[in-house]
Amino acid sequence: MDAEEKLELMKIMFNPKNVALMGATGKMGKIGSFVGMSILSCGFKKKIYPINPSPRYQNKKILGNEVYSSLDKCPEQIDLVGIVVPPNAVIDSVKLAIENDVKTAAIITAGFGEVKTEERQQENKELVKIADKGGLIFVGPNSMGFYSSEDKTSPLHLGFGFMLPKPGNVSIVSQSGTMGTILCNALQRIRYFVSSGNEASLTLEDYLQYYAQDDETKTIALFAEGLRAGKRFKEICTEITKKKPVLFLKAGITKTGARAANSHTGSIAGSLDIYKSVFKQTGVIYAEQIMDFIYLIKGAQFLLPLPNTDPLRAGIISGGGGFVVHLTDLCEKHGINVVDLNKEPNGPKLIEDISKHLPFYWSHNNPVDMVATNNPNAYQNVMELMLNSNCFDVIFTMTSATFLERIKMLKPENEAGKKMKEMMMSRRADRLNQIVDHEINLARSHPNKKIIYISLAPSLGNPIYDKYDENQVMVFGGNLETAAIVLRKLHDYQKFINQSSIA
């Protein structure tokens, strides 16, 4: 089956009118039960057909859906089957799907291409041969399934990862189901997610090409141990990166990691230098760490396009001196210019204006140390001056949204202290929404400047930051260096795009 034929069938797979689950069960703890729960939990509103031939399910229901003994007993044509049967029953399940004119499947079951015995390798080849001859494409085997919000009114999670994504614009391929689950939980708003598994039928390159032509996919993220078709990958990325960012986290970069990759998905990890060369030529954004990867994906959505200034001009404003010194070091290390206001045309005037709002002993330059002033309006006034000064392309500042959580950490021993904590909690809780709204409005009201909020507490998975994400406002939590790395890599991508458009 050629690539174009696969792409046409993937339209059915990612937006089926119904789903049959072969190997469905009502037993808690079984994969067939987890997958059924996932389908229901993410909002799939179309018809679900659990398939289980066991007599004990005759005239019974699984998770509220009538059980059928066989695929051919379903009352309508099936678009997509999920296969969670034991390994020795997978091929027969695929044959049955083909006999019933089903064209798409997700094989969750493991025990095929990743197992290095002759028997299992032959079984894998037989599976591929039968599916290809029957005109059926499938995700996996050894997959945790996939998620699609192509139909936003009925998103589908045919898998068993513990995640509850919402419709969004990020599309992900992960050769690891666990890593994919981490990404979906961290990012939340997902267009497509595929745990590609062994890629016996559909490969990473197939999904990438599908995402490339999908207008609703704005950002593409790939976690891979190895590529099946490097030349095709390069050709797709050469075109796609001009329109939307592609981010890549590579696993199996050490000798031992490569061996683990080969036993995990059966992929050949390949030389990291070769991958980096391809990424540089095509504009793919390469991440070296999982946290960098997650924040790069968010940054690609919230910060691009970046100004064309090279290097980027950064302003830093904070109430803590040590924080700004460390962040200044990190910016310089990663090629970001922390503007010296004494050398900037509008800098002396900005220093003069800021001095009207801060004590005389403030730093009189950028970074701006607020020196713990007790002026309640100082921060807002200084920030507005910096945003309107034309001295900066991006401004780093600390968010106040987590101050309530820091108050919660206080453990006063006496009654007076406990009452003080309650009072502080009450006042801060009342103001929390106002703080969040103010910080978001500040960023949204200056679209030509990029405000990056820094939190010393982790921001991923924290519900406080849901509203920031909804409004595409960037918050980094827990690691200052990640913020500098992400900004540099995104700016490198911006320069690549600018050069490509000229060429």
Q: Model confidence over 379-389: pLDDT tens digits?
A: 899 999 999 99
Give the separation between CA 290 and CA 310, rounded to whole angstroms.
Answer: 27
Output the pTM of the full model: 0.91
pLDDT at 376: 76
CATH topology identical between 3-301 and 305-502 = yes
pLDDT score of 268 more than 50 = no
Strand order in the sheet with 219-224: 156-159, 145-148, 189-195, 166-174, 219-224, 246-250, 285-287
Q: 192 near 217, Cβ under 8 Å?
A: yes
pLDDT score of 34 more than 70 = yes
pLDDT at 256: 58
Q: Which of 79, 256, 222 is nearest to 151 (CA)?
A: 79
Q: What are 380's strand-pairing partners?
A: none
Domain 3-301 of CATH type 3.40.50.261? yes
Q: Look at domain 305-502 and name its CATH class.
A: alpha beta
Q: Which of 218, 268, 267, 225 is nearest to 244 (CA)?
A: 218
pLDDT score of 266 more than 70 = no
Give the separation between CA 123 and CA 235, rounded to whole angstroms.
Answer: 32
Give the separation between CA 440 and CA 468, rounded to whole angstroms.
Answer: 6
pLDDT at 86: 92
pLDDT score of 264 more than 50 = no
Q: 455 near 302, Cβ under 8 Å?
A: no
Q: What is the mean pLDDT of residues 214-219?
A: 98
Q: Tens of pLDDT along 150-190?
A: 999 999 999 988 899 999 999 999 999 999 999 999 999 99
Tokens representing 286 are 């390469």
Q: What is the mean pLDDT of residues 444-472?
A: 86
Q: 257 near 269, Cβ under 8 Å?
A: yes
Element (H, E) at 168: strand 166-174
Give the separation between CA 109 and CA 2, rounded to whole angstroms.
Answer: 25
Residue found under tokens 């101050």: 403
pLDDT at 134: 96
Give the separation between CA 427 and CA 420, rounded to whole angstroms.
Answer: 11
Model confidence at 26, in pLDDT bands (50, 70, 90)?
confident
Q: Tens of pLDDT along 320-360?
A: 777 888 999 999 999 999 999 999 999 999 999 999 999 99
pLDDT score of 472 more than 80 = yes
Length of the chain: 503
pLDDT score of 226 more than 80 = yes
Model confidence at 503, in pLDDT bands (50, 70, 90)?
low
The per-residue pLDDT of the chain, averaged, comes to 90
Give the separation between CA 29 and CA 464, rounded to whole angstroms.
Answer: 32
Tokens representing 468 are 């920031």
pLDDT at 254: 60
Q: What is the mean pLDDT of residues 24-45?
A: 91
Residue 249 CA to its chain's centroid (Å): 11
Q: What are 81's strand-pairing partners?
A: 20, 105
Model confidence at 210, in pLDDT bands (50, 70, 90)?
very high
pLDDT at 262: 52
Lowest mean pLDDT among 52-56, 121-125, 384-388, 481-485: 121-125
Q: What is the mean pLDDT of residues 94-107?
A: 97
pLDDT score of 378 more than 80 = yes
Q: 101 near 41, Cβ under 8 Å?
A: no
Domain boundaries, the chain: 3-301, 305-502
Residue 145 CA to its chain's centroid (Å): 16
Lowest mean pLDDT among 14-23, 259-268, 425-434, 484-493: 259-268
Kindly report the backbone phi and psi dihedral angles of residue 251, in degrees, each rounded to the nearest multiple of 5, phi listed first: -105, 160
The upper half-sphere exposure of residue 350, i.e. CA atoms within 13 Å in the direction of its Cβ, equals 26
pLDDT score of 209 more than 80 = yes
Helices 378-387 and 415-444: crossing angle in degrees, nearest 10, is 20
Give the separation between CA 496 and CA 280, rounded to whole angstroms.
Answer: 9
Q: Tens of pLDDT along 396-419?
A: 998 888 776 777 777 888 888 888
Q: What is the mean pLDDT of residues 293-305?
A: 96
Select the highest-mean-pLDDT range: 20-34, 88-102, 246-260: 88-102
Helices 347-355 and 378-387: crossing angle in degrees, nearest 10, is 170
pLDDT at 281: 95
Q: What is the mean pLDDT of residues 459-471?
A: 83
Tokens representing 493 are 């991508």
Model confidence at 253, in pLDDT bands (50, 70, 90)?
low
Q: Which of 188, 160, 158 is nearest to 172 (CA)?
A: 188
